[in-house]
Every structure is written in C-alpha cells, then in structure tokens.
Amino acid sequence: MIRHIGFIDLGGLWFSGKVNILGRVLGTAIAATFWMQIPAKAGPAEDYTEHCAECHGPGRLGAQGPAMIPETLKRMRGPNLAEVIRAGRTATQMPGYGDVLDEARIAALVTFLKTPLAVVPDWGKAEITASRVMDADYHAVEAPAWDADPMNITLVVETGDHHVSVLDGDTFDVLDRFATPFAVHGGPKFSPDGRYVFIMSRDGWVQKYDIWALQQVGRVRAGINSRNIAMSRDGKWLAVANYLPNSLTILSTGDLTVAKVFEIKGKDGTPSRVSAVYQAPPRESFVLALKDVPEIWEVFYGANPPYQGFVHDHRIEGPPEIDNPFPVRRISVPDILDDFFFDQSYEYIMGASRANDGGQVIDLVIGQKIADLDLPGMPHLGSGITWKYGDTTVMATPHLKDGVVSVIDMTTWQTVKRIRTDGPGFFMRSHENTPYAWVDVFFGPNKDKMHVIDKQTMKIVRTLDPEPGKTVAHVEFTRDGKYALVSIWEDDGAVIVYNAQTLEEVKRLPMRKPSGKYNVWNKITFSEGTSH
C-alpha cells in the first residue's frame, strides 16, 4: 500500500475529497519528464516516487499536498523537514515515516526536496484552467447569513493548521472557521462590497470565499510558487504575482477563469520573478515590483488607460488588441526595487533598494526617480503606514535588520525621526481614530514585546508584554479604531483584543498560530493605518 508524505495540513479538507486535479494535469503534461530523471538504483528519488508522489505530484509541484520544491520550502529548515518526514504532523493527513525510512534515507530525501528542479514545466493558461474547480454545493445568498456588521468583519489567518477564522468585529465571536490552501502568503483581498475574499497560498492556489454565505466558492492554481495578490478597483480582476513561473496571472473574480498570463522579462530579455503586485485604485492599474530587473511594470485594466508612449507586453506602441485588454507600461529605475509603499494618491512609489541598503521615490506620473530615501537596515515598506503630522503627512516603517522605526516626511522625502525600538520589527499598524501606532519586535530576543508609539510626539508611550517568551506580532484595528487585535504567533497562540485608547486587554481568543488579521472596512477603504 502506498503511503503519503508531505506537509498536508488540510489535504482532503482543502480538496473536500474531490478528484486529484493536479495529478491529472501533471500526469498528462509533465510527469514523463520527471519519471525519466529518476535513477534506476534505490535513492531519494525512488523514495519520493514511492511515498510522496501521489500526494505531492510526480514532478514535486503539488497535488492534494503542497509543492516539494525549495521555493515553497524556504522557511522549512532541514532539521524541521526531517522531523516532519520522520514523525508526521499532528492533526493532519501527514503520517510519519520513521518506521519505514532510516535516518540516512530521511536526510537524503531532505536534500532531494531542497534541490531545485532541473526543468520547470509550463504553467500557463491551459494548466491554470485545468486546475480550476468551482464548488457544486455553493449557494449564493441575498444577504448575510449572520447578524453582524458586514463592514466590521475581521479575518484571522491561522497558520498553525491552515485555517481562517471569521470574527464579528463587535462581539469577537467566531462566525466560521474554514480550511485554506497550504501556507497562505500575502494578505487576503476583499471585493469592493466586502462580500468575497480571495486568499492565496505559496503554491499558487487562489481560493474564493463568500463571507455572507460562509462558504467556499471555488479555487484555481494561478502559479507554481506565488507571492501575493491584488484586487482591481472595480472588483472584476485579481492579479497574482509569481516566482515560478516568472509570470503575472490575471483572473476574473467572478468565476476564477484566466483573463491573461504575462511572461515577465526585462527590456533586455532577462526573465524576472515578480516580488509583489499592488493595486493602484485611482490609476485603475496593477503595479509590479520585479525581483531580478531594474524595472517597474504598470498593468492597466480600466476602460481608458493612458496608452500614449507606453510599451506593451509585446513591445507594440498604441492601444491594445481586442484580445489583449491589459496594456503594460515599463518604467526603468536605477536599482532593483522589490518592496513598495504608495502615498495615498498613488502618484508616488517609495521603493526599497536591497543592493544599496536604501530607497528611492518614483513619480508614477512622469515615470522617473525624483528622490533618494535614507533607509538603512532593510526597511519593510510593505508594512508602512501614514498619518497627519502638523501640516504634512509622514510615513513610518519598521526595519528588518535594525531596531528602529524610520519616519519620513512625504513632502520633502527626508527622514524626520528615527525611533529606537527593542529590536527589528516586521509589522506596523495604526488607525485614523487612534493617537497611537503599534509596532512589533518580531526578530531577536525581545520578540514578546509590542511598542505603542504616540504619533504626534513620536515617542514610545507603552511597551506591552502580553505573553512573556512568546512571539507577539501584527496588529489590526476594528472598523472604528476602538479595539486593536494582536497575535500571539505560536501554535498554542491567541488573538488578544486591546482597548486602543486605554491599552488594556479586553479579550483573548485561542488560535492556532494566528498571523495576519484583516478588517473588511479598513482594507476596502484603504485606511492610512494599514498596508495596501
């Protein structure tokens, strides 16, 4: 009897016992390529074929279980991966293989899984389309099936067992808890009316969920290894940024069909991964951060994009063809920028330059750099926030290497304050109706701390220590800004609800390694206190 191996935290839950779609697609499209690479003698490739392939695909690209390739296993270090193979994972369909494979074979299998693929198969429109499944038992409703403020719903991503909890933002009752794809990555995106949410995994699976009906609508695999998603202003299109293949996939939000797949190459033909895709609502465009080439791409989806002077994906000037309704503008930049922050008007991009340990400001209107940013210590611009400060607007960002929050005047682009913290941080949040900004100390020995900063004095007024020794991270506010929700980022963790004015704990909700939290109203209105 063949046993299954992998990180299947949801397996049958995610696929609900349906047909192994990827198994069929990969089996017919690429399996032969990989089977030919398996050596005749016993070894890790044979062990993978015998114990792993049925769940994770013959090409290691995933099926019921996630892909077993370095890009998706990046956070799973060797010893951790070996332990999962040896002992399995609690409360999942992943069994242990310590009684089948000795330590040497487990170590060899870990090395095999961490080895890049010799051949990366195509994952274009045909393969994406073949992976698409719409739930036959989904039934739309005319109004929410629950009694709560639909604009004050908050979703909590629980990475411990790959679920999302749907919270009533007034009572903090859990309305539903549903299975997600393995290893959700990047923030979920809501439709403009707040009814639907789209969730993406590192394996490229995109899940559509109806918050009103508390039901999954369907799912599709838009890439092999993906970074994040962005929603168009009109709610019609969803853009998916991919590392593998080097592509941008645009889906119809209505039925998850493929509208366009862009192959991402620089002007000189260099292939590039897409670090992230962002929505720019006033411009009716998606903006791409590219990992490997010094360019920014802007993909337009609106009815009247400014075509003049733009270079399209086929390098043709002029308006798009009928079958190519997404013209592309390419902006050359001095350095590769792979982490962005936009001002509220979406006219300016603040980009982090990894090579020069700083940043740049790009004017999207003229398509040129207009300023340099003094941002040493690897700023996490994707977590930046803004607020009014005197007669200007400032932007604040934590740093991934230094224990500091940098505050930048968005008129002069000068750093006006460096707020020292107890260590490098990852997430920063605020709200229009609170005087405070919250920032975690995600990295290092003080990971159990959460700083609360007065936005006008720019000083730390309180350092919270909600669970000594446990990782504390990520804050989200309720619609009115009255409450702040903080994660204890542990498998036996919790979401702690604080009064955002008194900074006192109000409630504690047990959760399985809760990470990000996303309030419908704050996200669809592009609150200045949250990332976009």
Q: What is the DSSP letter of 530?
A: S
Q: Which pair of structure tokens corresponds to residue 235?
A: 């709610």
pLDDT computed for residue 61 by the predictor: 73
CB-based contact 250:265 (threshold 8 Å): no
The CATH classification number of 11-113 equals: 1.10.760.10
Using the predicted structure, report yes or no on whether residue 218 has a pLDDT greater than 90. Answer: yes
Q: Which residue has the higher pLDDT, 25 or 187?
A: 187
pLDDT computed for residue 29 by the predictor: 42
Strand-strand pairing, 459-464 and 450-454: antiparallel
Percent over 90 (pLDDT), the chain: 64
Using the predicted structure, report yes or no on whether residue 26 has a pLDDT greater than 50. Answer: no
Q: Could you read off the pLDDT of 358-414 as tens digits, one per residue? A: 789 999 999 999 999 998 878 888 889 999 999 999 999 999 889 999 999 999 999
Alpha helices in 221-307 (DSSP H): none
Torsion sign (Cα): 238, 242, 244, 250: positive
Q: Which residue has the higher pLDDT, 12 or 43?
A: 43
For residue 9, CA distances in Å to 91, 114, 200, 251, 483 come to 7, 20, 15, 26, 32
pLDDT computed for residue 51 by the predictor: 82
pLDDT computed for residue 305 by the predictor: 66
Boundaries of CATH 2.130.10.10 in the chain? 378-532
Within 10 Å of residue 22's Cβ, how many Cβ atoms? 24
Q: What DSSP letter does each residue of 26-80 carry, written as one string? A: HHHHTHHHHHTTS-SSSSHHHHHHHHTHHHH-TTSS-SSSPP-STTTSTTS-HHH
pLDDT computed for residue 2 by the predictor: 35
In 3D, which of 302, 301, 320 has the Cα closest to residue 310? 320
In 3D, which of 354, 352, 377 has the Cα closest to residue 362? 352
Q: Which residue has the higher pLDDT, 116 or 196?
A: 196
**Secondary structure element (H or E) that encloses residue 135, with its range:** none
**Secondary structure element (H or E) that encloses residue 244, with its range:** strand 237-244
Kindly provide the residue ranges of all beta strands, DSSP E only, lying in 301-449, ordered along the sequence.
328-332, 337-342, 348-353, 358-363, 368-373, 385-389, 392-398, 404-409, 415-420, 428-429, 436-440
Percent over 70 (pLDDT), the chain: 83
**Secondary structure element (H or E) that encloses residue 297, with its range:** strand 295-300
Q: Tell me the whole-structure pTM to 2 decimals.
A: 0.82
Using the predicted structure, report yes or no on whether residue 421 has a pLDDT greater than 70. Answer: yes
Using the predicted structure, report yes or no on whether residue 103 has a pLDDT greater than 80. Answer: yes
Q: Which pair of structure tokens corresponds to residue 279?
A: 């929505």
Looking at every residue in the chain, the average pLDDT score rounds to 86
**Secondary structure element (H or E) that encloses residue 25, with its range:** helix 21-29
CB-based contact 286:337 (threshold 8 Å): no
Q: Could you read off the pLDDT of 500-532 as tens digits, one per residue? A: 999 999 999 999 999 999 999 999 999 888 876
pLDDT computed for residue 79 by the predictor: 59
Boundaries of CATH 2.140.10.20 in the chain? 123-153+169-293+295-332
Q: Which residue has the higher pLDDT, 193 or 309?
A: 193
- Integer-rounded Cα Rg, in Å, for the chain is 23
Which has the minimum average pLDDT: 72-76, 161-165, 325-329, 445-449? 72-76
Q: What is the DSSP letter of 381?
A: G
pLDDT computed for residue 283 by the predictor: 94
Using the predicted structure, report yes or no on whether residue 15 has a pLDDT greater than 60. Answer: no
Q: Could you read off the pLDDT of 222-234 as tens digits, one per residue? A: 999 899 999 999 9
Q: Could you read off the pLDDT of 311-327 as tens digits, one per residue? A: 444 333 344 444 558 99
For residue 476, CA distances in Å to 84, 146, 152, 182, 429 come to 32, 22, 12, 23, 7
Residues 6+ apart with CB under 8 A from 319: 307, 327
pLDDT band at 309 (very low <50, low <70, confident <90, very high): very low
pLDDT band at 356 (very low <50, low <70, confident <90, very high): low
Most confident segment among 37-41, 89-93, 325-329: 325-329
Q: Which residue has the higher pLDDT, 85 or 158?
A: 158
Q: What residue type is assigned to position 211 of the chain?
A: I
- Provide the CATH topology of domain 378-532: Methylamine Dehydrogenase; Chain H (2.130.10)
The CATH classification number of 123-153+169-293+295-332 equals: 2.140.10.20
Q: Which residue has the higher pLDDT, 58 or 270?
A: 270
Task: Give mean pLDDT, residues 144-162.
Answer: 96
Boundaries of CATH 1.10.760.10 in the chain? 11-113
pLDDT band at 22 (very low <50, low <70, confident <90, very high): very low
